[in-house]
Amino acid sequence: MDHQETFASLTLAQFSERLASSEPVPGGGSASAIAGALAASLLAMVARLSIDRPKYEPYRATIERALATAERSRARLMGLADEDARAYASFSAARKLPHDTPEQEAARAAATADAARAASEAPMEVVRECLRVIEEVAAAAGRSNVNAASDLEVAARLSAAAAHGAAANVLINLPMVGDERFSGVMSAEVNETLHSVDRGVAQITQILGSRTLREPEPA
């Protein structure tokens, strides 16, 4: 991946071709981030299909906040796709360093640990951002255009898939960080966040399944 290039600058077909190649990047972390960005895009779409319509005026504050969050998350997740690719490229380069002497082995181990930490932190940010998207979808469910309810559910399910995919990338890199405290804190956050993600999707599915509007959020 060229340092000047971003995945956002590629067409969907070009990104798909890159992903399908034998190159190590982009990989699952970047794919998860982009899936999360697509979920945020769907939330933005539903918000735009709801705003300024008299029927949904009681929900204006919720819809405007959902739109703002969706746009921020969409941009952040696209950026995280690049961050994840750079982090994994650094990790792959560290693993290829020479290790014929004790000094080289020590340098390689240190570089690998640093790169593995970065390769854990980038997808963890994806997990966190996906939860933010799901929280806004949950708030918008039953308070936005009922004709776009299925799009909102897709946003929730796609964001959940992205969170779980990114979490897998976090967990696989943690053992190579060599820091038990860091790994323990990150593992606990992964588990707690995914629990919130799954709980949020279940709530969203139930609300949308009713096909009815609910009370506005408390002021």
Q: Is the pTM of this model over 0.85?
A: yes
The per-residue pLDDT for range 31-81, each reduced to its tens digit, is 999 999 999 999 999 999 999 999 999 999 999 999 999 999 999 999 999
Q: What is the average per-residue pLDDT within 149-167?
A: 98
Q: Is 171 helix (H, G, I), strand (E, B) or coil?
A: helix
Q: How far is CA 184 from the centre of its chain?
A: 21
CB 99 within 8 A of CB 105: yes
Domain 25-210, classified CATH 3.30.590.10, yes or no:
no
Confidence of residue 175 (pLDDT cuts 50, 70, 90): very high
The domain limits of the chain are 25-210
Q: Which of 131, 152, 146, 147 is nearest to 205 (CA)?
A: 152
The per-residue pLDDT for range 70-121, each reduced to its tens digit, is 999 999 999 999 999 999 999 999 999 999 899 999 999 999 999 999 999 9
Q: What is the pLDDT of residue 24?
A: 87
Residue 217 is classified by DSSP as P
Q: What is the average per-residue pLDDT within 177-199?
A: 97
Q: What is the pLDDT of residue 2?
A: 55
Identify the H or E element spanning 197.
helix 180-210
Give the residue with greater pLDDT, 1 vs 4.
Answer: 4
Instruction: Report the distance separating Cα 166 and Cα 76, nearest Å.
Output: 14
- State percent of the chain over pLDDT 70: 98
Residue with tokens 């139930």: 206
Q: Is 80 helix (H, G, I), strand (E, B) or coil?
A: helix
The per-residue pLDDT for range 128-149, each reduced to its tens digit, is 999 999 999 999 999 999 999 9
Instruction: Report the distance separating Cα 28 and Cα 161, nearest Å.
Output: 11
Q: What is the pLDDT of residue 1?
A: 56
The pLDDT of residue 179 is above 60 = yes
Confidence of residue 5 (pLDDT cuts 50, 70, 90): confident
The pLDDT of residue 199 is above 90 = yes
Confidence of residue 19 (pLDDT cuts 50, 70, 90): very high
With a CB cutoff of 8 Å and minimum separation 6, the contacts of 135 are 200
Instruction: Report the distance separating Cα 49 and Cα 53, nearest Å.
Output: 8
